[in-house]
Amino acid sequence: MVLLKWEHTPGEAWVYLVILTSIYILYILRTYIRSIIYISQLNGPKTIPIIGNANSILKENFLYRLAYESQMYGRIVRIWLTIFPYVMFLEPEDIQLILNNAKHTQKVFFYKLLDNFLGKGLITRDIKSWRIHRRLLQPAFHLHVLEKFTNTFAKHADHLMNKILEKNNQEINITTFINDSVYNILSETVLGINRINRINEMDDLPFRKGQIMLLYRMIRPWLLIEWIYRLTKYGREEEKQRKNLFDTCFKMVKEKRDLLQSKDRISNNDIKKNKNISLLEYMVEINEKNPCFSDEDIVEECCTFMLAGQDSVGTATAMTIFLLANHPEWQNKCIEEIDEIFNGDTRFPTISDLKEMKCLEMCIKESLRLYPSVPIIGRTLGEDIKIGKHIIPAGCSVLISPYSTHHLPHHFPDPDTFKPERFNSENSEKRHPYAYIPFSAGPRNCIGYKFAMLEMKSIISAILRKCRLQSIPGKKEIRPKFRMTIRAQGGLWVKIIERDQILKSIAA
């Protein structure tokens, strides 16, 4: 019997290695390749090589044009963010398929670029951790708990109103005042720090000192590689800012734990009683009962609530005030409603009072329709979905633009006009529930949307109880600037007139 010996040459070995390596790479990139094959069949805006649509997607007219050009591209729009392919949904029925399904709760890759700024809180966490944290934190945002914060909202709103009255008969950029007030509210409700009594002192907390570098990195694809980015000046600065945030929060967690250990423990019964505790205290107590919710988790969530809550609520509140100044007929309706609720009483509003402010709520909702705080939401498909004749593969990245959807003319006729009546009960019932999504929707919606609405009502109603707002010639236009949140270029300018002064002039 003769045995044949098959000997491999070095060249053949390299060929096999290359083949095996190629197969492995294709396996790793199978979802990416499948997405590219699918997305190449779709229509979408013109792209720039390598950058794709990243340089233009957050420009002023891009998301606006998508709403009006959606018929040109079809039901599903192709978008490229650098080398990453996305599909964008604009129609409410399609958006509902994504946001209402727990299988599609994974955030897209670009959210990871926010980790250094926001921390790995509810906004950016992976699905498994997010589910645990959401379940643990949700009770802190139930309405009966938020009711205990209304006095805090009112106290800071009253302080803001007095600061504004110092500018009586003057033109002011309302954004600056509102942002300061929102920051003070968050400092007390999230961290347990009352800043009103030390408002003129140097603020040594790091929550207003960082900047989001996501867009900077998006249009420079090589900086999407983390180790390269960390070698850059901005990468080092962001890492330093993250360290400052974490060091500060860890110190607060330790101080809060030491304080609580010297007192009676917080319990669920305390939550149910008329006891006002900060979110930090609540999370420290969660840690005591659930060791899986670590100190690092507390710090991550604190950073998320402090940083994400500033721009979103601050901008929405300032936008509403500006729009009321430029639409005096609706401002008058809100003032009449507020005067009827309080009937000359100078007390702080209760949660019942805030619920009665239906007209003000319509105005806030219409402001959020025109300028939703977060203009783009991203998800990753957990399974194949079918939309019309399209089968979109699992793993594909999906973009949803509340700004674009809110401007679809067939859902919101005359979409550029401020019409709060869109949100009366009759009109709201007729509209698709996913046509209006300023706080996202479904299982991964904004956990703090009720908190935000009560906060905004408290601030705006406090101002309208003492002031009238006037528009300023030449400064009546909002120029939105799209980042992770919408901002107003050049600020939002209004003139403040004390209501008592108006009554005196009429009497004279």
Distances (CA, A) of 10 to 7, 13, 17, 19: 10, 5, 11, 14
Work out the mean pLDDT of the chain and round it to a whole number.
Answer: 86
User: What is the H or E stretch that residue 88 is in?
Assistant: strand 84-89
Q: What confidence score (pLDDT) does residue 272 get?
A: 45
Band the pLDDT of 202: cuts 50, 70, 90.
very low
Alpha carbons 358 and 10: distance in angstroms, whole number: 79
Which stretch, 261-265, 336-340, 487-491, has highest mean pLDDT?
336-340
256: nearest Cα among 231, 213, 220, 286: 286
Alpha carbons 309 and 313: distance in angstroms, whole number: 6
Alpha carbons 493 and 475: distance in angstroms, whole number: 6
Please determine, for residue 271, whether its predicted confidence score (pLDDT) is greater than 50: no
B/e letters for 311-326, b = 16+ CB within 10 Å, e = fewer, are bbbbbbbbbbbbbbbb
Band the pLDDT of 48: cuts 50, 70, 90.
confident
Q: Select the more confidently predicted residue: 194 or 454.
A: 454
Residue type, position 284, single letter = V
Band the pLDDT of 289: cuts 50, 70, 90.
confident
Please determine, for residue 411, whether its predicted confidence score (pLDDT) is greater than 80: yes
Residue 446 labelled as part of a binding site: yes
Q: What confidence score (pLDDT) does residue 274 get?
A: 47
**For residues 437-461, average pLDDT:** 94
pLDDT digits (tens, 9 = 90+) for 143-188: 888 898 999 999 999 999 999 999 999 999 999 999 999 999 999 9
Band the pLDDT of 63: cuts 50, 70, 90.
confident
**For residues 93-111, average pLDDT:** 90
Place of tokens 């619920």: 355
Q: What confidence score (pLDDT) does residue 105 get?
A: 87
Please determine, for residue 269, whether its predicted confidence score (pLDDT) is greater than 80: no
Range in 156-160, 222-226, 313-317, 489-493 with the lowest mean pLDDT: 222-226
Please determine, for residue 67, whether its predicted confidence score (pLDDT) is greater than 90: no
Please determine, for residue 2, whether its predicted confidence score (pLDDT) is greater than 60: no
DSSP assignments along 393-456, one per residue: PTT-EEEE-HHHHTT-TTTSSSTTS--GGGGSHHHHHHS-TTS--BTB-GGGS-TTHHHHHHHH
Whether the CB-CB separation of 394 and 382 falls below 8 Å is answered with yes
**For residues 467-487, average pLDDT:** 89
Alpha carbons 387 and 365: distance in angstroms, whole number: 29
**For residues 347-364, average pLDDT:** 96
First to last CA, the chain: 125
B/e letters for 388-398, b = 16+ CB within 10 Å, e = fewer, are eeeebbebbbb
CATH of 28-486+493-507, one of 2.40.50.140, 3.40.50.1100, 2.60.40.420, 1.10.630.10: 1.10.630.10
3 state SS of 54: coil
Q: Select the more confidently predicted residue: 346 or 40.
A: 346
Query: Whole-model pTM?
Result: 0.89
Strand segments (E) across 92-145: none
pLDDT digits (tens, 9 = 90+) for 293-337: 999 999 999 988 988 888 889 999 999 999 999 999 999 999 999
**For residues 262-283, average pLDDT:** 66
Distances (CA, A) of 215 to 89, 207, 244: 21, 20, 22
Report the percentage of the chain scoring pLDDT > 90. 48
**For residues 5-10, average pLDDT:** 58
Q: What confidence score (pLDDT) does residue 120 get?
A: 80
Q: Select the more confidently predicted residue: 496 or 35.
A: 496
**For residues 483-503, average pLDDT:** 85
Range in 6-20, 191-205, 234-248, 302-316 with the lowest mean pLDDT: 6-20
Residue-range domain boundaries for the chain: 28-486+493-507
Residue 266 DSSP label: P
